[in-house]
Structure 1
Amino acid sequence: MTAYFQRQLADYVEYHRDPWNCAMHVLGIILLFLGAILPLSMWPISLFGAQITVATLMALPVLIYWLVLDTALGLAIVGVAVLLLAAAAMIADHASVTGVWITTAILIVTGVASQIVGHQVFERRQPALVDNPSHLLLGPIFVMAKLFIALGLRHDLAAIIGPAAPLSASLHPGDRRSEPHAHS
């Protein structure tokens, strides 16, 4: 894990303390990634004799970025991305062009809405990317880091972003009973 990644993650976590907000981000990130690659999955290209889609080609730079930030987390994200690229290809193969674009719109609107609800209702704070646009690329690796922590695989990450709290720790939107309270 690079020092740059540690600083970025420490800053990002300040905007993502509520477990319900994190859950909304899991949903939103998956839907937004699928929505971004779905229409690009309709265009096959030949690259060095292999058939791929524009979606795969366009996803490669960000997948490489995540691998550079943290190899283990990056590899896990690549695994999820492969599944989402396969799902997008399957949808693109079986749906009409209109169907693909309608599905894309629904995925993007739902993904963005889940992010907004997570921040406005549960976190009660603006999204991190408003203050730092580079945080747009940190969401997927943050979610994967939380999963690794929950599985007990990355204590070094837990030291930066804290332990993964179960969703039951937050009983109501904005409820912070699971956090220690300062006494005056």
Structure 2
Amino acid sequence: MKSAIEQLSTYKSVHLNPTNIKTHFVGIPLIIWSAFVMLNTIPFSLYSFGSTGLELNVAVLFACAVLIYYFALHAKLALGLVLFILPVLYTSFLVSRMEQAWPIAIGVFVIGWIFQLIGHKYEKAKPAFIDDLNQLLIGPFFLMAELYFMLGLERDLDEAITPLARDKRRALTHASKHDN
């Protein structure tokens, strides 16, 4: 498994533009929330928590699996992601029980991707997942890292990934110039 530094520097290499990062702070949570609405509609439940209406279902199992992956990468960032995912799980579960759950989820999903694509226009670089589908999982992890950095936390991690990201970006830019 690639380290957190490797994963984050690869992701950051195509997310250096501040406007792109801002659009991702909108787009990625929208995409995640809408995906969890869809996952919550899958008619499979291992356990129901009585009067709360909450269930141990595909959405919860997926969230747990991804969080385990994040904890394996970097425990402190994973703790922040737990705080992010809990309200996502709850609100997406509630919406998934509505008659219009799928149209709502699809609409939010499309809006989220529009934000992503607008950001990459500013970045002038293709999204990271084009070359590595695992980078779809790294997007939320990257945003949590960026939030920590904005708060002055995990400075060592920032100092480790940013120079690597810039080097990777230079290599990508150099390679694309030679491909044309």
TM-score (norm 1): 0.78
| 1:169 corresponds to | none
Runs of 4+ in 1 over 6 A off after TM superposition: none
| 2:172 corresponds to | none
Q: Structure 1 counterpart of 2:87, which letter?
A: L
Using the TM superposition, give the Cα deviation of residue 146 of structure 1 relative to its aligned residue in structure 2, in angstroms.
0.6
**Distance between the aligned counterparts of 1:49 and 1:92, measured in 2?**
16
| Aligned 8 A contact 2:48 2:56 in 1 | no
| 1:143 corresponds to | 143
Structure 2 residue 33 is matched with structure 1 residue 38? no
| Aligned 8 A contact 1:9 1:160 in 2 | no
Structure 2 residue 79 is matched with structure 1 residue 80? no
**Distance between the aligned counterparts of 2:112 and 2:162, measured in 1?**
25
Using the TM superposition, give the Cα deviation of residue 79 of structure 1 relative to its aligned residue in structure 2, in angstroms.
1.2
Using the TM superposition, give the Cα deviation of residue 47 of structure 1 relative to its aligned residue in structure 2, in angstroms.
4.0
Using the TM superposition, give the Cα deviation of residue 162 of structure 1 relative to its aligned residue in structure 2, in angstroms.
4.1
Report the more deviating stretch, 73-82 or 154-163. Answer: 154-163
| 2:154 corresponds to | 154
Using the TM superposition, give the Cα deviation of residue 114 of structure 1 relative to its aligned residue in structure 2, in angstroms.
1.1
Residue segments in structure 1 that go unaligned for 5+ positions in a row? 164-184
Structure 1 residues 45 and 147, CA gap change in structure 2 (3 angstroms): same
Using the TM superposition, give the Cα deviation of residue 44 of structure 1 relative to its aligned residue in structure 2, in angstroms.
5.9
> Sequence identity of aligned pairs in percent?
32
| 1:70 corresponds to | 74
| 2:118 corresponds to | 117
Using the TM superposition, give the Cα deviation of residue 21 of structure 1 relative to its aligned residue in structure 2, in angstroms.
0.4
| Aligned 8 A contact 1:148 1:154 in 2 | yes
Using the TM superposition, give the Cα deviation of residue 48 of structure 1 relative to its aligned residue in structure 2, in angstroms.
9.7
User: Larger % of helix: which?
Assistant: 2
Query: How do 1:1-184 residues align onto structure 2 when only pairs under 5 Å count?
Result: 4-42=3-41, 43=43, 45-47=45-47, 51-93=55-97, 95-96=98-99, 99-120=100-121, 122-162=122-162
Residue segments in structure 2 that go unaligned for 5+ positions in a row? 164-180
Relative contact order (C-alpha < 8 Å, sep 6+): which is higher?
A: 2
For the aligned residues, what is the CA RMSD? 2.2
